[in-house]
Structure 1
Amino acid sequence: MVNSKTRNIVLCGLFTALMAVGANVSPFLTIGGVPITLQLMFAILAGGILGSRLGTLAMLTYMLVGLVGVPVFAQFKGGPAQLLSPTFGFIISFIFVAYVTGKLIADQKSVTKKNYIGAGFLSVFCNYIIGTNMMYLAFKMWAAAPDGFSYTMAWGWMVVYLPLDIVVTTVSLVVLPKVRTALKRTYTPTIDV
């Protein structure tokens, strides 16, 4: 039987890989320069399955793998130059999404529908607050902002994505209890990585 430390490493690696796949499911479909991805879904699942610490570790690993040059970010991009991308804030937000979801679901002894609803709301909230504010700052400070660019415009761009992110979050939270139940029989995450 495989020990829990090995399972933790494998599952962290699996979610790191799933983030790379989710980032590039539709690499050529962009709206307003931002690619449509399934990363929010995998960040929610990572936190909900692995817990706050291991889910955060998986998302942090994904970010670091991309920053060292492996093309795992959306549109098969990677490298330290991505730190200056207006969309890099969304990659950072996935770390917080996994943490919050893990705290509200996987780290709890008893999970209710309120936990899932709270996790869904806070996941989208973290993703949008961190990602949109960092995008705004990037466009204002170093990226080539479009004419008339404003804070309101940055949030206006995000309205287009909100329905999709709500659907992706809902699907994640419907699937999550089923996956957790199936894994509970064979896997209990531990934090001794």
Structure 2
Amino acid sequence: MKAREIVICALFAALMGVGANIAPLLTIGGVPITLQLLIAISAGGLLGSKLGSLSMFAYLFIGLAGAPIFAQFKGGLGSILSPTFGYIISFIVVAYIVGKFFERKTLFTYVGAGTLAILTNYIIGTNYMYLAYIYWVEAPASFSYVIAWSWMVAYLPLDIGVTILALILIPRLQKVLKFHSIRKRSLS
């Protein structure tokens, strides 16, 4: 990796830390409202699958090392036990998937990338949250798999809007910041 690629990955890891704590006091069903999906999608779209997912992995690693960069200024190995940790894992996969779509540029790049980004985030994150509540966090009395997914309905409009915003911004940012040259080099 070149120095510029390392710096860009570090920048996106730092942006993820900021995006995680934009609204640290707002939660729905135990899940804080953040801008992390926007940043994960942007990382994949701007940096490509390899560097985008690497930047999200760096965010995960820095947080697990103890830096308070996860939502609500949390960090450390204990974060693995948090019901929302699955969403952090999903951001690595989201950036990779979006990056793959943008590397192949087809008619369905934006629709496919956006749809799979949200689905991946929800499938990994919600299933992890469900398992966390069942096995190691005290679940609400009437908690079930259906309730875990019904909590996510409240987030869907926000996540769709954030995804659309990210997909609109990516091509504009590529032109301004010339990230496409980074992505092309990272593929070789």
Task: Identify the TM-score tier after normalising by the shorter chain.
Answer: over 0.9
C-alpha distance in structure 2 between counterparts of 1:185 and 1:87, whole Å: 31
What corresponds to 1:158 in structure 2? 152
Report SS of the residue matched to 2:186.
Answer: coil
Following superposition of structure 1 onto structure 2, how do residues 35-50 of structure 1 map, counting pairs within 5 Å?
35-50=32-47
What corresponds to 1:115 in structure 2? 109
In the TM superposition, residue 177 of structure 1 has moved relative to its aligned partner by 0.9
Q: Which amino acid aligns with 2:186?
A: I
What corresponds to 1:62 in structure 2? 59
Following superposition of structure 1 onto structure 2, how do residues 74-93 of structure 1 map, counting pairs within 5 Å?
74-93=71-90
1:136 matched to 2:130? The reply is yes
Q: Which runs of 5+ in 1 are unaligned?
A: none
Q: Percent identity?
A: 58
1:170 matched to 2:129? The reply is no
Q: Which amino acid aligns with 1:130?
A: I
C-alpha distance in structure 2 between counterparts of 1:186 and 1:77, whole Å: 33
CA RMSD of aligned residues (A): 1.7
In the TM superposition, residue 136 of structure 1 has moved relative to its aligned partner by 0.4
What corresponds to 2:28 in structure 1? 31
In the TM superposition, residue 47 of structure 1 has moved relative to its aligned partner by 0.4
In the TM superposition, residue 182 of structure 1 has moved relative to its aligned partner by 2.2
What corresponds to 1:103 in structure 2? 100
Count of aligned pairs = 187
- Deviations, residues 109-163 of structure 1 (Å, cap 9, x unaligned): xx24410110000000000000000100111111100001100000000000000
Q: Which amino acid aligns with 1:122?
A: L
Give the TM-score normalised by structure 1. 0.92
C-alpha distance in structure 2 between counterparts of 1:48 and 1:116, whole Å: 10
Bigger mean CA offset, 27-36 vs 114-123: 27-36
Following superposition of structure 1 onto structure 2, how do residues 8-27 of structure 1 map, counting pairs within 5 Å?
8-27=5-24
